[in-house]
Amino acid sequence: MRRLRRSAAIRNLVRETALAADDFIYPLFVTHGVDVRHEIGSMPGQFQLS
């Protein structure tokens, strides 16, 4: 295993993944209209908003 760590490319492939709050994207779904709020059936708790 030590020989695999010699290459930077291999080290990048097997390194652990670290996530921070800045890595996430908040889903926002926009629709036409004024003061419209439609629930998205396949995504509970998510709405289309105008």
Q: What is the pLDDT of residue 46?
A: 93
Domain span including residue 37: 3-49
- Return all residues near 17 (Cβ < 8 A) that are at least 6 apart: none
**pLDDT tens for each residue of 1-50:** 566 678 888 888 888 888 899 999 988 899 999 999 999 999 999 999 99
Number of folded domains in the chain? Answer: 1
Q: How far apart are CA 50 and CA 42, in angstroms?
A: 19
CB 31 within 8 A of CB 48: yes
CB 29 within 8 A of CB 47: yes
Scanning the structure block, which residue is given the tokens 């097997």? Answer: 14
pTM: 0.48
